[in-house]
Chains A and B, each alone.
Chain A
């Protein structure tokens, strides 16, 4: 299939490309930008006038809920959600049931995902067997099966001895380790940020120190082992400052923030809105400002959706009993654009944080539009508003704090490996 995408604003953050031109796809790869290769005859022409043509988005945290939680979401529904959100590559955390701690499970997931022929799935392997924090997994075997990194998801790794060994072992073979900074004890049982809102509402609290203590341990161990660590879902201003200092010291660390945390804070919990029950918890306005600034200045490398489909049964309960998480794949683009627009960030800069930057953390050759690169492409209308409604979401998880919000930026076409995998139906003529 040969495709030509005409007259769009082609933005490729990795190569500093931003101009209105045409892009040609052949044999699953980018064939040329600007002038058509000689003899190019398109099977399909897409008129992208007024649209942005960029690399397909890369989301470093999307729970697909398979295996184990199919009643919350299935691979089919979530892969559709991904491409509807312009996401062509996604990394999924190992906290499935059973956890991704065996090559067979990883191969099965990769196989199921491949057969759907939609977004590329990059499984993250479990760092320890059963995420129990005791024995290391067979990282070599898991990597061969397709794991691109190893993490402990949300399971606490209480034993720093095991963490050190895991990092040393991973460093030996050049594996990447992804960790969320959370102390196993501090904030245990907590459901909201320790601040004015949790005080008022009487919600068990999670202090900022639960993140910073764990972050300090991780950074100290990175210093001694030299392992490349990616910090997932930073949530506090203090955490951002620590990461900034660690990067200035030259430590091999990267980090991300969930898009929710760029826009919401604990005040949004209002009168116990279970939609705002998230992990890490929504923190204060000062934290939110620091996260936004950190993403702008590069301290935080990228934004992810932290997509976690939760069914209504998980949310129609009191706040403290609500299942944490929100659907996000289809909101990654508009919520990133919203941040960029509000903070005066140029569009290519914003797109870098959901394309080239996450690709670098993944160690993948995706996320750019260089000639001969895989044709994973997102075409979106940067000026089209749409309202976040459960019926507008493909994900089986309809729960998000953003329901009812009018957002800007609508994905029109998603191309994976040169195939059109998603197209927004044209709006009915007025």
Chain B
């Protein structure tokens, strides 16, 4: 089976997941993002790469940060950006996902940035476009269910490379709700593809998927054990609906075991960086002193996110 995001020539035509993506393509995105990062510091923050192209932000699930950064990225590439916050209401109106897509294609969309609560929704759209012969329309996954959030994974990789230079001697720990996390899955695939020798996941058994070791990671349930000797600590967001119930008894107990504190971080390497995809729950997964501390690269992640998304949009569009 051909990787559905590559065309017959092996070019990236959709970005759906980092799984199975060749390392050269991942590195090309990261390399392309480097000059875009400096555009942000210029007075005129625009390049004409996507002039005349229409990028549709198709968000079936609420998002502020991801949608905004995609919008900024597309605008800095001089694309026309149309935001559609479809939420769940459109399905109750009876229009199917593919009907919505067909309608927007009829409005001459060039690219869809898709967020959907169902794992695999962007794959469905990409396969549909390919089947209909709309190979000039591209799909970028902005987060699907628990499956993938490839641009977040890429910006995490960009951040790690920025501070640590080389992936091939790193220990990276991902902490928290891995079970429901598309961020974790994408980062794991990216790190393993780029040759990171040790990726760890840390969390209670209720929040770690059954077969996670098949992704090439080590599982730790004790946070201090898991953080020992780490170069990079990635904290995951705990959704509020999961803070109490059958998965976890309380936020207090969660913070006690898996919240990142200065004291727990002390077992990591002295120059370890702390990352978080946002939005943060201070005092639940991370204490403020660490989130705002000198090891934290959480805000640079956001800035890099725009450059990485510019790189993705321009590469996928073949610009």
A195 interface hit (Cβ, 8 Å): yes
Q: Which among B206-214, B228-236, B255-263, B282-290 touches the partner chain?
A: B206-214
Instruction: Report the tally of A-B residue pairs with Cβ distances under 8 A.
Output: 76
A364 interface hit (Cβ, 8 Å): no
Q: Bound complex: CA of A204 vs CA of B98, how far in Å?
A: 23
Contacts of B148 in A (CB 8 A): 202
Does B123 contact A199, Cβ atoms closer than 8 Å? no
A271 interface hit (Cβ, 8 Å): yes
Does B147 contact A202, Cβ atoms closer than 8 Å? yes
Distance in Å: Cβ of B83 to nearest Cβ of chain A: 21
Q: Bound complex: CA of A196 vs CA of B217, how far in Å?
A: 13
Does B215 contact A200, Cβ atoms closer than 8 Å? yes
Does B120 contact A271, Cβ atoms closer than 8 Å? yes
Contacts of A318 in B (CB 8 A): 97, 116, 118-121, 124, 145
Does A199 contact B212, Cβ atoms closer than 8 Å? yes
* Candidates A194, A198, A205, A319; contact of B118 at CB < 8 Å: A319
**How many chain B residues touch the partner (CB < 8 A)?**
28
Given A199-B210, A199-B215, A319-B118, also A271-B1 (CB < 8 A)? yes
Contacts of A245 in B (CB 8 A): none
Does A196 contact B211, Cβ atoms closer than 8 Å? yes
Contacts of A317 in B (CB 8 A): 96-98, 124
* Candidates A194, A200, A319; contact of B19 at CB < 8 Å: A200
B146 interface hit (Cβ, 8 Å): yes
Contacts of B116 in A (CB 8 A): 318
Does A320 contact B209, Cβ atoms closer than 8 Å? no
Given A195-B210, A270-B1, A318-B97, also A202-B146 (CB < 8 A)? yes
A213 interface hit (Cβ, 8 Å): no
Q: Bound complex: CA of A272 vs CA of B4, how far in Å?
A: 11
B4, B96, B127, B147 interface centre (most CB from chain A within 10 Å): B147
- Footprint of B on A, CB under 8 Å? 194-196, 198-205, 207, 270-272, 274, 313, 316-321
- Footprint of A on B, CB under 8 Å? 1, 4, 19, 96-98, 116, 118-121, 123-124, 127-128, 144-148, 182, 185, 209-212, 214-215
13 contacts between A and B (CB under 8 A): A195-B211, A196-B211, A198-B209, A199-B210, A202-B144, A202-B182, A203-B146, A205-B209, A205-B210, A272-B120, A317-B96, A318-B118, A320-B120
